[in-house]
Structure 1
């Protein structure tokens, strides 16, 4: 953030330009629709010559949608501008600080309970959810959260994942009472009334009026806390007030349009990139650009899908497609700060390897036997024993195949996490968090959508290509070429990975919603499911397993990656080649697992850290123990998912996320105390 010089002329010019852009976009937006009524007919509303049909369409559909976009886009931009001013971080926004997720969970929870609070009640509830989420982010980030560029965003990612997992679980458990909220959760301005949009617009105007008193103090924050305090600003009070208003504005946006991503990042950053830093101009100009961006995204979204059978692409998907690349560029450019204290993975060997391996094997056997017995169809222990003895039992046979795929995929995901963490030295680096799993999803869904009749081998190959492609993009965006070779900043890798994952998710949504065929198959795969898997699906995991064995054989060389730049080179290790080999190996493992069970996250986070805490950092011990724990985790998650609501199933990816997201939060909190295990 730069200090705010006097720039009235430029600020006024940019404000007028933003207003002109918004007016043009609004005109295009109002004239667009599926009814075939364009501006020729709508002009009749002004002259009084419009038919009753035109009036009904304008007042019942076009106007509410326009007002919703104006309110939601402006609210998100104002929220992002305030958050960025408080944190002095260009990536701070409602979605990256967990505020959107907190508000969304609160709204979903009340809907699940069957309570209707009305417009103002919903805003109040979403505000409380956002405030609780923001407080949790600050607690996780610690005192260094506001001064470390990446730390508060990592905490926001952890909280967002945890809250969105809970919201998704409520959507699954209370499908009838929360009907429509899943679509709304993608960020849409289609389903709301003019009255409610106007009511929430009044709340937003109150927020804007309150920010007027903070304009000068926010400008002073740009020179740092001590400088601002010396110039007369009450730093603590200003930050608390600005953060509260940011949460309230985000709550308005969530209530009116759902959790829409990246508008709060792109609009304020655009204003600053154009050379305007005074908040007297930043806030209103960002609000106008935010509204224009969201309305423009809705125009593009409605242009994609016009078939009644496939529905409509949510505007939030388009904002993610636009915003994620900008987020990646900003993450690449921003100063992360001192990342060594954020990235160190410190552990000691604590337990003997052989007894621990035996114990893990016993645990896996117990989980496997339970998986064979438990399900919507009753199976006795006698049947399980008979099948183990060679008797023919179709039910047990089917469960064994499903369990074997779950265990193998879990092991591959765990080893992928070990590989990624070994290279970037960041305990939060994990295939799903850094976007590799999302890249696999893009490849797999593209294969399902574009070639539904293709041979079976096309799916794993496409998933592999997508995962490796995401890894290459990550390396290109997060790495920097230096005199000694290619350098990877641990925190920047995760931040860029978040953007890569968001972009992949948006592309997947576009592909899935565009397709007329195989949509259910694609969405089931994306949920991370072992449903219908059998022994024959193990063939897609042969290559990832072989790669995992190769990485285990390279354990000693992987150990050297923890000693920085000079020591490995002095010992003759080709550092650049080794890093590339391990990262590509991790991408193959994650993509291979995704081709079998879909997008299951967090296994590569939980299993490696659990193993490292028990056997220490030596990769020759760490890889097999982590693989065993990953297998146990996915088998247990599959068992829980198909037994809690039997005969209905909770996707295994969601069950794992409910464990992994709190684990990620705990990991960040533990790092505040100076050590990570």
Structure 2
């Protein structure tokens, strides 16, 4: 049976290779490829194949084998079927390291880039370890740590993309995984490293088989666990870094391939590891072929990165697998511990928060690509300002008001979602709500370009609510960790859909990236109207604070007190989705506000909803206003989208939150 499975995988891979070689814009099809293989190809076919097709196919083979073997090693070492180079942050760390090197203008060559990618991936694994060591090492906790590290790496890389406007398109495609090559040099050189790593990996097979029985059992049977696990993870990082060096970060391949092989009945690592490599190579080439069929190069649509296709496939698979993860958090709450709130007078804290918001708004009016003095600002307020000062303030004031409103809505959305899920990491962006809103808004822009402006927030709201409902239906039991993991899968899937639409419609990549990263640029007072419905929902949640408070008490006690638990949970979740989606329609994707603001508010005023939500709203408004000011003044006249700034501020806070005991 194993021989039959191996032969079947090999045959399928060969067929996919032939099909992949037959796709492209040069008019050389599958029949021409077969004729060339048989020795009857003409000169044109030879030139096309050796010039572009074979390097691309070879790159797919190298990347697939590297990611498949890397995923098998990581899953074996961690005993976690959801662990992979991307879900543990290895790809993101390697990607950020290579992007930073390129942004600095350093041409380190293939080996230099590979070494830097390895160091970035290794740093990511080390950070995941630091975030989980000393706590309960559950699969959910490890994956949340990996997601955190991925957010750090991707936020940093997006920051570099926004700065390098002249190369944004290239960075966008490479950052989503692309097999396009300029020759055979890179695939051949990196391929030699991958083959060496793939040849070494089976040497760890017996130890990984024993590790699956548990550390104590493996230790008793002679396995040096403290050596085998670091060796397996280090080799996995080398392979993942090699894949990033060739094609950028390609997600979910290292997750899907080992799982698919296990579903075929292969569990021993001596066969699982090589079959995972072959299966992953098949998946990468098939995904790239599908991308070329969906958006043919000859049609002039441009390149659809293969990483987007693998995300469309892998996101739903991740959701299915996450649904089966046993976390142990359903009854006792999230594995992440929230620090004990300090008692404080609510009114005093709220007044101080409003004062900070006023200061942030005034500073925001002053600074930017053109600073205005305090005297000019005062003259504008009194109505005697100069024309230039009046123009600057009239441009900045609406975006500051929009930023404050968006921050307040996102913060209350975070409180609402976290109160139901009982996990302080349940932020609307991480939960896929913002991604659903973005996908729906982008769909309206493409399908109905002449639609009234008012349709956009309606579509975004519907998309966000739909994403939230799907997550809850899939999760069934509101396990705090499982819901967040499913949300991560939903976020990956929806953002892949957005990227497909961006590429397929040949949208301006820089503009699309800026909107997806969250921006208040050129927002006027009419945008405040888009935040009207979220504001009404926020008030309703505050008024219904007693019911929201009871959600934190589990299941039995609220029911005994007469609360319709299921209906209340859905209403609160939908309210949070409305808030997050409506905000996304106004300012794009702004993350971490719904994470940071509620947590800070809890430490200041406690957990009572009637105090927590107003305090969180003020802190969220302060955070976004400050982020907007920083984004348009630090590198003026270049603007950093507010979502990038909040991500750079929020990820360290998320790291600290995960480390809290």
TM-score where L is the length of structure 2 = 0.96
- CA distance 1:150–1:16, change in 2 (3 Å): same
Residues in 1 aligned to 2:415 and 2:164: alpha-carbon distance in whole angstroms: 37
Q: CA deviation at 1:325?
A: 0.4
**1:296-351 deviation per Cα after TM superposition (whole angstroms, max 9, x unaligned):** 00001111223665411000000000011000000001222356361554533422
Q: Is the contact between residue 338 and residue 657 of structure 2 (CA under 8 Å) also seen in structure 1? A: no
Residues in 2 aligned to 1:535 and 1:82: alpha-carbon distance in whole angstroms: 54
After the TM superposition, which parts of structure 1 deviate over 6 Å for at least 4 consecutive aligned residues? none
Of 48, 53, 56 in structure 2, the residue corresponding to residue 57 of structure 1 is 48
Aligned to 1:32: 23
Aligned to 1:7: none
**Aligned: 1:388 with 2:385:** no
Q: CA deviation at 1:70?
A: 0.2
Aligned to 2:59: 68
Aligned to 1:353: 346
Q: Is the contact between residue 474 and residue 500 of structure 1 (CA under 8 Å) also seen in structure 2? A: yes
Aligned to 2:215: 225
Residues in 1 aligned to 2:644 and 2:449: alpha-carbon distance in whole angstroms: 26
**Aligned: 1:642 with 2:639:** no
Q: CA deviation at 1:372?
A: 1.1
**1:538-565 deviation per Cα after TM superposition (whole angstroms, max 9, x unaligned):** 0010010010001011112211111111
Aligned to 2:132: 141
Aligned to 1:369: 362
Moved more, 41-50 or 209-218: 41-50
RMSD: 1.7
Q: Is the contact between residue 436 and residue 587 of structure 1 (CA under 8 Å) also seen in structure 2? A: yes
Of 539, 544, 547 in structure 1, the residue corresponding to residue 529 of structure 2 is 539
- CA distance 1:313–1:44, change in 2 (3 Å): same
**Aligned: 1:126 with 2:123:** no
Residues in 1 aligned to 2:644 and 2:405: alpha-carbon distance in whole angstroms: 18
Residues in 1 aligned to 2:144 and 2:487: alpha-carbon distance in whole angstroms: 11
Q: Is the contact between residue 329 and residue 481 of structure 2 (CA under 8 Å) also seen in structure 1? A: no
Q: Is the contact between residue 98 and residue 134 of structure 1 (CA under 8 Å) also seen in structure 2? A: yes
Q: Is the contact between residue 111 and residue 177 of structure 1 (CA under 8 Å) also seen in structure 2? A: no
Q: Is the contact between residue 512 and residue 523 of structure 1 (CA under 8 Å) also seen in structure 2? A: no
- 3-state SS of the aligned residue for 1:312? coil
Residues in 2 aligned to 1:61 and 1:519: alpha-carbon distance in whole angstroms: 25
Aligned to 1:327: 318
Residues in 1 aligned to 2:358 and 2:327: alpha-carbon distance in whole angstroms: 45
- 3-state SS of the aligned residue for 2:308? helix
Q: Is the contact between residue 435 and residue 497 of structure 1 (CA under 8 Å) also seen in structure 2? A: yes
Q: Is the contact between residue 169 and residue 509 of structure 2 (CA under 8 Å) also seen in structure 1? A: no
**1:206-235 deviation per Cα after TM superposition (whole angstroms, max 9, x unaligned):** 112221221111111111111111222111
Of 69, 73, 78 in structure 2, the residue corresponding to residue 78 of structure 1 is 69
Residues in 2 aligned to 1:178 and 1:522: alpha-carbon distance in whole angstroms: 11
Q: Is the contact between residue 475 and residue 486 of structure 2 (CA under 8 Å) also seen in structure 1? A: yes
Moved more, 560-569 or 502-511: 560-569
Residues in 2 aligned to 1:501 and 1:388: alpha-carbon distance in whole angstroms: 44
Q: CA deviation at 1:135?
A: 0.6
Q: Is the contact between residue 349 and residue 617 of structure 1 (CA under 8 Å) also seen in structure 2? A: no
**1:462-512 deviation per Cα after TM superposition (whole angstroms, max 9, x unaligned):** 100110011011101112xxxxxxx30000011000000000010001111
- CA distance 1:573–1:343, change in 2 (3 Å): farther
**Aligned: 1:436 with 2:426:** no
Residues in 2 aligned to 1:40 and 1:25: alpha-carbon distance in whole angstroms: 14
Gapped runs of 5+ residues in structure 1? 1-9, 480-486
TM-score where L is the length of structure 1 = 0.94
Aligned to 2:104: 113
Equivalent runs, 1:105-254 vs 2, <5 Å: 105-144=96-135, 147-175=137-165, 180-254=170-244
Q: CA deviation at 1:391?
A: 5.3
Q: CA deviation at 1:113?
A: 1.9
- 3-state SS of the aligned residue for 1:488? coil
Moved more, 206-215 or 468-477: 206-215
Q: CA deviation at 1:13?
A: 1.9
Of 77, 84, 88 in structure 2, the residue corresponding to residue 93 of structure 1 is 84
Residues in 1 aligned to 2:337 and 2:444: alpha-carbon distance in whole angstroms: 39
Gapped runs of 5+ residues in structure 2? none
Equivalent runs, 1:271-290 vs 2, <5 Å: 271-290=261-280
Q: CA deviation at 1:245?
A: 0.7
Residues in 1 aligned to 2:211 and 2:545: alpha-carbon distance in whole angstroms: 48
Residues in 1 aligned to 2:228 and 2:309: alpha-carbon distance in whole angstroms: 34
